[in-house]
Amino acid sequence: MIYLDNAATSFPKPETVYQALDKFARTSLANPGRAGHKMAMAAERTLDDCRHALNRFFGGEGIERWIFTCNCTDSLNIAIKGLIKPGDHVITSDLEHNSVSRPLRKLEKEGVITLTRVASTDGYLDPESIRQALTPKTSLVALTHASNVLGTVQPIDAIGAIVREAGALFLVDAAQSAGLVPIDLKTSTIDLLAFPGHKALYGPTGTGALYVGPRANPRAWREGGTGGDSASETQPQQLPYSLEGGTPNVLGVAGLAAGIAWVAERGVDVARAHEVELLQKVVDWADANEGWSIAGRWEPATHVGALSLIVPEGISPQEIGGILDGSFDIAIRPGLHCSPYIHKALGTFPDGTIRLSPGPFSTEAEIDTFLGALEEITAGVL
Ligand SMILES: Cc1ncc(COP(=O)(O)O)c(C=O)c1O
């Protein structure tokens, strides 16, 4: 199969990730516990090693600030639900994935918060529009770093400075940027960074993390065993255990650590540059082919490896996706990509677009095959 759905989850993974998963599963797959036997200690060390790797990779302020989660949705929910208080005002944008939009919209519908959804232009947020949306009650600004529909990278440094000046917390959804765009928590004004382990950090599905910066203190959202402090009647207060009840996905973390090592060795931005180069071909093709256009402004320097194509009239994104899969063995993602608000703004709601997202192992020949398939599929319609 030609896999062009890396924005959903990356495939294939680097060989070292498969090796790490295999080795860990065969030798160390015990329940991590600080006071346990040798295998439990080895599993605990794997968690610690990965926290160190994350802390180095993103320039965090300490390994205890890295919370392992199931996915990016989990990370975002822990942050949003753990921080918000009744009466708060929250700012978000029309670029968000449902994992940000839905928890916030629910809190708004329940009357717990007031919510401002700032509009993007051509896929980009203007920092000034965030400034204008701030109120004295704004406690949280929750924004995506890169749109999963358009691939556009947002000016989070400029926005973060405005948010910090206003005294609010800044939660960044780095689902589409972690591993592709440099993020330095030491120099940035990000308070909470949420991301999956299974996209451009090349861990397996079921992995994710949340960084909790020194200004943030989310309430425990899930209480239970932490492998230590068992005499305490309530959840321990200290990070990371306050936010990590239950047996963690330590096998997944072993794979994630190998994925982070792979990215760190190659250098952040290498995969992004490769993917953007492949997408340039698609952009040029869409320019030259009647009926097709790309969604959002194409600026290669501020783009990750996801791109949406608006399809010609007479055929739906879902039909194209089905034919690509069934007849050409090509995996892309048609539809709304869990981000309905941006499709409403683009005028592509409810059918959406087709999104392709090459990965570090994608080739130019695969993109040529994909474009040839689009030409065949739409030959009868155009
Ligand atoms: C921008 C964005 N945020 C959040 C998510 C949710 O990530 P996960 O599937 O790891 O929960 C995604 C997934 O595609 C995404 O693209």
In terms of Cα–Cα distance, which of 201, 250, 247, 246 is closest to 21?
250
* Residue with CA at minimum distance from ligand 1 atom 7: 72
What pLDDT band is residue 253 in, cutting at 50, 70 and 90?
very high
Residue 207 Cα to ligand 1 middle (Å): 12
- Average the pLDDT over 224-243 and give the result: 89
Residue 41 Cα to ligand 1 middle (Å): 32
- Average the pLDDT over 118-137 and give the result: 98
* Residue with CA at minimum distance from ligand 1 atom 16: 148
Residue 77 Cα to ligand 1 middle (Å): 12
What pLDDT band is residue 35 in, cutting at 50, 70 and 90?
low
In terms of Cα–Cα distance, which of 178, 179, 206, 180 is closest to 194?
178
In terms of Cα–Cα distance, which of 208, 195, 179, 203 is closest to 259?
203
- Which tens digits make up the pLDDT trace of 332-380? 999 999 999 999 999 999 999 999 999 999 999 999 999 999 999 998 7
With beta carbons less than 8 A apart as the criterion, state whether 343 and 349 touch.
Answer: yes
| Segment among 94-108, 137-151, 216-230 with least mean pLDDT | 216-230
With beta carbons less than 8 A apart as the criterion, state whether 123 and 99 touch.
Answer: no
Q: Which residues line ligand 1 (CB under 6 A)?
A: 8, 71-73, 97, 99, 144, 148, 173, 175-176, 196, 208
What domains sit in the chain, N to C, each tagged with a CATH number? 2-10+268-378 (3.90.1150.10), 15-266 (3.40.640.10)
Omega of the bond leading into 340 within 30 degrees of 0 (cis): no
Backbone angles phi, psi at 346, to 5 degrees: -80, -15
- Which tens digits make up the pLDDT trace of 254-307? 999 999 999 999 999 899 999 999 999 999 999 999 999 999 999 999 999 999
Q: Where are the alpha helices (DSSP H) in the chain?
A: 15-27, 38-58, 72-83, 98-109, 127-133, 156-166, 250-266, 270-288, 317-328, 340-346, 364-378
What pLDDT band is residue 5 in, cutting at 50, 70 and 90?
very high
Determine the Cα–Cα distance for residues 262 and 158; give it in Å rounded to an integer: 30
- Which tens digits make up the pLDDT trace of 129-162? 999 999 999 999 999 999 999 999 999 999 999 9
- Which tens digits make up the pLDDT trace of 171-210? 999 999 999 999 999 999 999 999 999 999 999 999 999 9
